[in-house]
Structure formats: structure tokens, C-alpha cells
Amino acid sequence: MGNPSISLRFTMFLSLSLSITPFALSHNYTKPSPIPKAAPSDLLNLLGSKSQASTVNPSVAKEIRSCFKFLVPFHPTPSIVKFSSRRSLRSSRFDDRSRREEDELVWWPPQSVLELARLAVDSGGDPGAIHRTLDPAIIPIPNVHGSKKHKCELTRTPYGRRFISEELNSYLKFLFELIAARSAAMGLNVTLNRFDLFHGHLFLSFDNNRLGILFHAKEFPAYDEKAFPYNMGYCQIGSNVPYDASMNMRNILWLAPIPSNSTKDWEAPGVLVVLDARPDGIIYRDIIPDYVHIARTIYEDDLGDAVVDVNYLDTGNAMPNYQIFIC
């Protein structure tokens, strides 16, 4: 008969060896660190100055940058061009400008826009400071292409206002027109109407009070039993906007130049960019709330303090007549 103590010792040794071996083998194994979750502020920092962009995790920055589709080339560094290219909007129609002139109007807008951008910073991000630049006159929201017939309320209030500065109002029109003109190259194919692109949300960013507008295109896709079986209410009635891959790019972001908070200089020029929310991208995964994944909606409240809605509505009948209504 064998020695039971030897058999027991062997069994314990074998058991201990099996339990220790995986740990020993894995002791020097370094598990790859997961990519941190992107925050809305990361979007804005990457579109700011180089010093702001450097605060974003490199892995996150790489993924976010892959989702930027610039309607105007991106220049994060201020340049002497700002002094030579700044021009008024009053003397030139949209169709009369060269592509370079349009780019420059985004990088370094007219003086009234720059003053509003500086006011946003100097006021400490006070929405009331922006409100006080609006004309107190109230303008009723018109019946836009049968909207009232279908009980559709397109705007937050039944009336709108405009900025006291006509140049500011003209600049807002310019942005809507520029987005529509350049969107096709991004596969977006925006149309200026009450089902597609007609509004944006003006906000002041949380981190540095930068002035921005988040535009939403494809606002009311047509009901479709297969592609989009969702009832969005009265304003969806009559829509012919298809729900397709272009929904991924319905969020368009304009950012004003960043004024320094200590000098009269500027830290970065303006930006106009489409935010690609494709399902395999980081914006879809981390920035868009799960409950609106189907709509691909980024909310302005996640980027900063919401100030006003900017609406661009066709008030004409036989001939188009687009006007700004700020609500």
C-alpha cells in the first residue's frame, strides 16, 4: 500500500501549481487601456486653439477628428489674414462671392459678429447679454408652406425677433445659405425648407463661453414603415425628406472666433463643420444619448448654455423669401 501522506502532498502541490500558474503567467501582462469616453467639451476643444486641443486624450482626439467633415477648411492658428479679409456682408450677394471670400467670412466674420463673440466672453457667458442685442420688436411667425394648416408649430414661440444689427442678421442668413450650398460635397444634400434645414441653436460653451450655433438638418424625416416608422407629430406631415445615411451628418456646428479673455487678441478663427454621427463612430457612441440614436441628435445643452433658437423660414408664396426669426 502506498504512503498516503506522499500522495496527499503531491495532490496539494499539483493543485497549488495549477492555481498559481495562471497568475504567474499573467503577472507581466498589461491589459490595453480602454479608450476614455468622449465628452461634448472634447469636440469644442479640438476645434479651438492648439493649447485647447492638447487637453484631449490622444486616442479620443483621433477618433473625434475622423468624424469632422469641414465645410470650410480648418485653421486652428490665428493668422494675419484676419486683418485683411474681414469684410461687410451688406455690399455682396451670396452668389457673388468667391469660395475664398466665403471661407474668410467664416474664419474672420464681420465686425458685428466679432463684437458679439467678445461680448459672450466679456460677460462671463451671460445669455442675457446676448438677449439685450436683440431688437425688441416682435415679428409673428408666418404660415410656412402650409404649416398652420397641419397645426405645425415650427418655432419655440409664435413670434420671433431679430438682432438690432442688420449685419448680424445677414450673417446668419449667410451661414444657412453656405451650409446648403456646400453640403452636397459631404453627402448631406441639405434643402432649406421646414422639413430639412431651417433652424439652429445659439449657445455659449461651458468651458470658455465661446459663441456657437448648432444647426440641425433633416429635422422631420418622412414616415416610412421600413426605414423610419416613427410619428413625429404635425410638423412631419407632408415631409419628403428620406431617412438614409445622410442622417448621420445632420448636426452642423458653427463656432465664432475665440477672443482672448486677457487681451484684445484672438486665440482661434471661426469654424464650420459637419459632425459625422455614423454608428461606428465615437460621436454616435459617446456624445449622442441612447434614446435619440435613431435621430442622430446632438443637443446644444450638452455643448453650453442655450441662448436662443435661430430660424430661417421661407415667408414667400410664389417666390422664395427667406427671413430670420430668433426665438
Query: So what's the pLDDT on residue 221?
Result: 97
Does 122 score more than 80 pLDDT?
A: yes
CA-closest candidate to residue 251, choices 212, 224, 222, 210:
212
pLDDT tens readout for residues 66-80: 999 999 999 877 764
d(CA 194, CA 314): 8
Does 151 score more than 90 pLDDT?
A: yes
Query: So what's the pLDDT on residue 93?
Result: 61
Of residues 46 and 21, the one with the higher pLDDT is 46
Q: Locate the domains of the chain by residue range.
A: 40-326
Q: Are 93 and 280 in contact (CB under 8 A)?
A: no
Does 56 score more than 50 pLDDT?
A: yes
pLDDT interval class at 225 (50, 70, 90): very high
Q: Please tell me the pTM assigned to this model.
A: 0.88
Question: Mean of the per-residue pLDDT values for the chain?
Answer: 88
Helix (H, G, I), strand (E, B) or coil at 86: coil
Across 146-166, average pLDDT = 95
pLDDT tens readout for residues 257-273: 999 888 888 999 999 99
Does 172 score more than 50 pLDDT?
A: yes
Across 21-25, average pLDDT = 38
Does 203 score more than 90 pLDDT?
A: yes
Q: Are 303 and 212 in contact (CB under 8 A)?
A: yes
Does 85 score more than 50 pLDDT?
A: no
Please work out, in degrees rounded to the nearest 5, the angle formed at the alpha carbon of residue 118 by the alpha carbons of 112 and 122. 140
pLDDT tens readout for residues 262-310: 888 899 999 999 999 999 999 999 999 999 999 999 999 999 999 999 9
Of residues 76 and 85, the one with the higher pLDDT is 76
Query: So what's the pLDDT on residue 29?
Result: 47
pLDDT interval class at 131 (50, 70, 90): very high
Cell numbers placing 190: 441639405
Query: So what's the pLDDT on residue 77?
Result: 75
Query: So what's the pLDDT on residue 78?
Result: 73
Across 77-88, average pLDDT = 55
d(CA 122, CA 137): 26
Query: So what's the pLDDT on residue 13?
Result: 36
Query: So what's the pLDDT on residue 31?
Result: 56
Q: Which of 8-12, 25-29, 39-43, 275-279 has the lowest mean pLDDT?
A: 8-12
Does 223 score more than 80 pLDDT?
A: yes
Q: Are 303 and 150 in contact (CB under 8 A)?
A: no
